[in-house]
Amino acid sequence: MPRPYDSLDATQLQHDAEDCLLSYGTAFFPEIITSADGIYIETHTGHRMMDFTSGQMSTLLSHAHPEVVKVIHDHAQHLDHLFSGMLSPPVINLAKRLTSIAPAGLDKAFFLSTGGESNEAAIRLAKFYTGKFEIVGLASSWHGMTGASLGAQYHAGRSGYGPNMQGNLALPTPNSYRSIFRRQDGSYDWKTELDYGFDLVDKQSCGSLAAVIIEPILSSGGMLELPAGYLKALKDHCVRRGMLLIVDEAQTGLGRAGDLFAFTHYPEDEGIVPDILTLSKTLGNGLPLSAVMTSNAIAQHAKQNGFLFYTTHINDPLPAAVGDKVVEIVVRDGLVGRSRELGMKLQTGLKKLQSRYGCIGDVRGRGLMAGVEIVCDRTTKEAAPEVGNCVAKKMTEMGLWAQLATMASFGGVFRIAPPLTVTEEELDRALAIMEEALRTTPGTQPLYMAE
């Protein structure tokens, strides 16, 4: 069966793109993508690549999953979009499904479009509930490109646009590979770092601390895991200051990191539940869909006092139906456990590559969410983005899209996130391509005798 873009004039399209598209901060891939199906994406030249970033870290179940396609078709035909004050079965079903699988304390939900929008709503809700306005984020965070969500992130995009939202303060990024906070034995002292960060926050605050917003794994920051016990210590700091804890699981949620919700991973953090949880990316399997979840107490306060976050596409039925199907499949097919098991295989394979190539300074992540940091020197840890770019180009040519992030601020870290439906054979093939790309690229510093 012919596909929509089997015949196209790529040269004309590239010209039209240059003529008509506004630049938004990333270099475009040089070929035009005409197909995305399963784990593969295909260019106009017929070049096929395994998509090991799941689009923008979103297609949790792969591209064009047949059950998701059917839901989209059915709801596009019968129940697509409604007045924002109307309810529909998909919205109610998704809210019921999510609140039934989430820990107690995440009792109510509503649905928006993007991760940035959900974080905007979460921050607005935290300010409304606490009556305060200062928001604390991590120094390598990424929460979105709208006013409050952008103000609470420090990774990129803060300079050149005038004043950011008032009342935003930063904590040091918990980076076990690069942090200067060390014990005498050289191990990472995240607790002292966190306490020091809050000491600085207290000195800068005007006494109106409303919330902390945080990712369990900082993807844009370089796939940085929060240490075991970090969330508990963070929550203690929040409680002492009357702050809420917002957890942003845009990329980690619904099994991506080997747990249904990544904030539940460590026994040291047992019992810690965010006051507000946001989901996006993975929830819609590539469609614009996000969720804000919170407690009955916060929801009741919002209802009684007239909290307002009213948008054109709040609680839209079509994306909610997709989200409901995504969560159903993840739970039904045991994809959380699968992510955990295949994630161990992925980590083992990546650490083997690290043992063979000196340019790999660090391997990290959980589940099917991994980071590989490329360096010039393991002692100085100086980044080597040019080497990483060459390796990425070679991998792309060989049929694997596991790209370095296209913004220089991401620091030369491969972010790897195949769909949870990836097979062991596909993982093996991807690791083999990575090995060959490293072997044949100058500057990767082989640590073994060439055969």
Q: Are 350 and 372 in contact (CB under 8 A)?
A: yes
Catalytic annotation present for 394: no
Catalytic annotation present for 42: no
Catalytic annotation present for 190: no
Q: Are 292 and 123 in contact (CB under 8 A)?
A: no
Residue (of 163, 123, 438) closest to 309 by Cα position: 123
Q: Are 278 and 246 in contact (CB under 8 A)?
A: yes
Helix-strand-coil percent breakdown of the chain, rounded to 5? 40, 20, 45
Cα distances from 31 to residues 14, 48, 50, 334, in angstroms, run 9, 11, 15, 36
- Cβ-count burial of 378 within 10 angstroms (0-12 exposed, 13-18 middle, 19+ buried)? middle
Catalytic annotation present for 142: yes
- The residue annotated as part of the active site, out of 108, 127, 256, 415, is 415
- The residue annotated as part of the active site, out of 189, 193, 215, 316, is 215
- The residue annotated as part of the active site, out of 241, 281, 325, 366, is 281
Q: How far, in Å, CA of 323 to CA of 325, rounded?
A: 5
- The residue annotated as part of the active site, out of 153, 235, 241, 251, is 251
Amino acid at 57: M
- The residue annotated as part of the active site, out of 51, 134, 189, 248, is 248
Catalytic annotation present for 251: yes
Q: Are 295 and 263 in contact (CB under 8 A)?
A: no
Pairing of strands 244-248, 209-214: parallel
- Cβ-count burial of 147 within 10 angstroms (0-12 exposed, 13-18 middle, 19+ buried)? middle
- The residue annotated as part of the active site, out of 142, 153, 354, 401, is 142
What single DSSP character describes residue 7?
S
Residue (of 292, 326, 286, 318) closest to 99 by Cα position: 292
| Residues 6+ away with beta carbon under 8 Å from 278 | 115, 118, 119, 121, 122, 246, 247, 248, 249, 250, 290, 291, 292, 293
Angle between helices 317-332 and 66-78 (to 10 degrees): 160
Residue (of 111, 135, 112) closest to 123 by Cα position: 135
CA dihedral 295, 297, 303, 309 (to 10 degrees): -40
Residues designated as active site: 142, 215, 248, 251, 281, 415
